[in-house]
Amino acid sequence: MIEKHLDIPTADGAMNSFVVYPDEGGPHPVVLFYMDAPGYREELRDMARRIAAVGYYVVLPNLYYRTSRDYFLKERTEPAMAEMFGYMGSISNALITADTAAMLKFLDAQPEADRARISGLGYCMSGPFVFAAAATYPDRFKSIAAIYPARMVTDQPDSPHQMAAPIQCETYIACAEIDKWASPAEIKLVEDKLTKDGTPHRIEWYGGCEHGFAFPKRPIYNQAAAERHWERLFSLWKRTLG
């Protein structure tokens, strides 16, 4: 595989990103991999490699680039968690849609990437981000997946559950049964909006699993559930990206 560490120009600076894709057989369908709250780290790059290994062009940007090029949560102490939430609060759906525009412009110039076949993947805080990206650029996304998404229902105008109408692509949401960031009542609101607005979707609950179950380096990692989520993702991409 080909791996690159590069900067994608944005309106606010240089967004350092990890790009990985097969070394032959392109142009490849694209997965934009939006990171979770603990930050830009090797665990995510390993997941990007797994996606690329089966034929995809993966872009993993550092969404905290405006304040740090290398932040990630190193320990789960109270001060460290407070720092992470500070980074998390520094970005918004509006900033991410601007960053997505920069990524799409970047992709349009890459001969190895198939600009007509793009999916968005978000975990935790980035569940709302893939909704925002697909709602803002509905003609560019063939599918999105939000894995144990956080804060899907807010009282703000850009609440993810209010974004369903413009989203045209197939949408998959994986929900952890034990998750203080996404209650069943909140996910029901999301589901009702997706259904009302005619967005093709599947919402799946992962029984007995905690928020973060798909990440191998988490104490609550659930291997069986993690592998099921990979199966769902690869099936989604096969259907929507070819």
pLDDT (tens digit, 9 = 90+) per residue, 52-90? 999 999 999 999 999 999 999 898 899 999 999 999 999
Whether the predicted pLDDT of 242 surpasses 90: no
- CATH second-level architecture of 2-241? 3-Layer(aba) Sandwich (3.40)
> Taking the complete model, does pTM exceed 0.85, yes or no?
yes
Average pLDDT over the chain reads 96
pLDDT exceeds 90 at position 240? yes
Candidate from 100-104, 108-112, 216-220 with smallest mean pLDDT: 216-220
Per-residue HEC secondary structure of 138-191 comes to CCCCCEEEEECCCCCCCCCCCCHHHCCCCCCCEEEEEEEEECCCCCHHHHHHHH
Bridge pairing between strands 113-123 and 57-61: unpaired
Which of the four pLDDT bands, split at 50, 70 and 90, describes residue 156?
Answer: confident
Where residue 190 falls among pLDDT bands split at 50, 70, 90?
A: very high
Tens digits of residue pLDDT in 2-18: 999 999 999 999 999 99
Predicted confidence band of residue 19 (pLDDT cuts 50, 70, 90): very high
Cα distances (angstroms) measured from residue 62 to each of 39, 71, 91, 92 = 7, 9, 11, 14
Cβ burial 43-70 (10 Å sphere, 16+ → b, else e): bbbebbeebbeebbbbbbbbbbbbeeee
Domain boundaries, the chain: 2-241
